[in-house]
Amino acid sequence: MVAFFKGGSVFLFFQKKVCLIRQTFAGLFLFLLTGLLVVSCPQPGNNSPPPVGESIVISSQADMAKIGIEETHPLSGDYLLANDVTLENWLPIGDETSPFTGVFDGKGNIITLNSFDVEAVSDKTYLGIFGYVKGASVSAKAEIKNLTIDSSVDATSTCTTEQAVGLVAGRAELAEIENITLAGTFGFRSEKTVFLGGAVGWINGEGTLVKNIDSSLDMNIVPGNGVSGILASGYDQYTFVGGIVGTFRGGAGIENCHNTGDVTADNVASSVSGQVFAGGIAGGSAYAGSAVYHGYIKGSSFTIGTVTSRARGYWTFAGGIAGTITGGNINDLAATTRIERCFATGTVSTAGTSSGSPYVGGVVGYIYYGALVSQSYFDGEVIAIKAGDYTGGIAGYNSQSAANISRIEDCWSGGIITGFNNAGGIVGQNQANAGLKNSYSIATVSTTSSASTGIGGIAGLNGNTNGAASVTGCVALNPSLAAPAGNNIHRVTGNSPGAISNSHAWSGMAITTGGMYAKAEGATAADGADCDEKPNQDFYEGLGWDFSDIWKMGTDDDYPQLRWQQL
């Protein structure tokens, strides 16, 4: 063979055949001069990233494993999943120093996730198909979308620090995670604190959004306790477990997410004593005595499944939507951590916990420092079988900030509420500097302890000596209230040093107690003023309820419904 260059072309001669390779923008071509066979030679720069705007097709685990490793598959790339793939012993894409900043579009395909890499489970702070996802800016967000994940992950971590764990991503910031379906099972055990969600463990920052997620995932999480300060400190040594997101911070949002699976966060099964926040959608916002805004959950639901939260430490929190929400400004909704237009119809339970103070609510376990639950409802079962509990149909506990009161507004509850010492149709305790208004309950409410502290159709306890609390314009339509002992049982609020105004109760409500029931009737009293079993719209409007934008009368059962509800 003889080769020479001329005019930017390469000529190859071997025997009687001549091959011409000519470099053009389209590539290099080899022409056989003595036949019809044309052979294309490889393009230069085959290990270079694709041109800007060009998508990279993923069709196998081997292809996905190239992301962030090979130059052809940058972390900033635009990826398309061409078909279903299975991931085994998976090593997460991106970390805190080199996050995934691009777009991954699943195109409706399925990722079967069987396991994470064994070393990654114990070595990585951020664990998921993607470890850390972070966009370049608010206008250039990272995206993961249009994907089904079928999981059989069952992992045990020996990590010496806390971890953020999710099937989609461990952590997301300046990112949108949307149109994801979660199925299968997800087991995870660690002796340290975990921030774990079915989709994402930790979401952070204004503009970060998790939306349109549907999950039937059954989760069994056994967390421990203890942090190194990498992710959190102080109160954040507590574990957060949610069916969709572990924890949301810094203004992040959760919208239109729906979960029908079981969420179990069981620190009692651990050898290390810890505290747990668990919820059907999210474990919760940051928990602290501060009015700082953390984000919101909107238009989401937990149905069919069971949320179970158990802790060996002092506290455990459980809610059908979230374990806790904290922080807010009574004069600025956009700066208020909130749950709005959400519902739960599953079971929420702290049964089996060892903690001294279980907080359990049909929607949220604990509302704190100005946070808000509005236009939401619960119609399932709430269970607390442990002393020191705060148990309610919407929230276990609603408390406190003198400047920015925590609030429950325009909510309703049904189903069965069973507390140990305390139970309320809407809230277990409406604490100091907390407000509850324009809400009603048709739930059956009871306690099981011989030392009941407060049982009410709306609030078990209302206020304390630390500050004022208020129940305004509320209606107790419960079929029954029951306690085996105690005198703090009343139709509206069981025990009420706090204020009551313009509140009513069904005159036919059955009240059973092993103690003494002394009726305190009147619109400003613990039993409220008498009303019909099913008052009409005029009655509610007379209490100040908004039937233009918030409420409507139900057509089937004659109870008020929220306008956004599907009848």
Which pLDDT belongs to residue 432? 86
Q: How far is CA 534 from the centre of its chain?
A: 34
Separation of alpha carbons 56 and 67, rounded Å: 10
Which range is least confidently modeled, 130-134, 270-274, 508-512?
Answer: 270-274
Percent helix, strand and coil across the chain, each rounded to 5? 5, 50, 45
Pairing of strands 412-419, 444-447: parallel
Amino acid identity, residue 410? D
The pLDDT tens digits of the residues spanning 434-486 come to 999 999 999 999 999 988 889 999 999 998 767 778 999 999 999 999 999 87
Would you put residue 502 in left (φ > 0), alpha (ψ -120 to 50) or beta? left
pLDDT at residue 84 greater than cutoff 70: yes
Closest CA to 200 of 154, 252, 250: 252
**HEC-encoded secondary structure of 61-119:** HHHHHCCCCCCCCCCCCEEEECCCEEECCECCECCCCCCECCEEEEEEEEEEECCECHH
pLDDT at residue 60 greater than cutoff 80: yes
Amino acid identity, residue 502? N
pLDDT at residue 1 greater than cutoff 50: no
Which pLDDT belongs to residue 9? 41
The pLDDT tens digits of the residues spanning 312-331 come to 988 999 999 999 999 999 99
Which pLDDT belongs to residue 11? 36
The pLDDT tens digits of the residues spanning 537-567 come to 999 999 999 999 999 999 889 999 999 997 5
The answer to whether 372 and 334 have CB atoms below 8 angstroms apart is no
pLDDT at residue 34 greater than cutoff 50: no
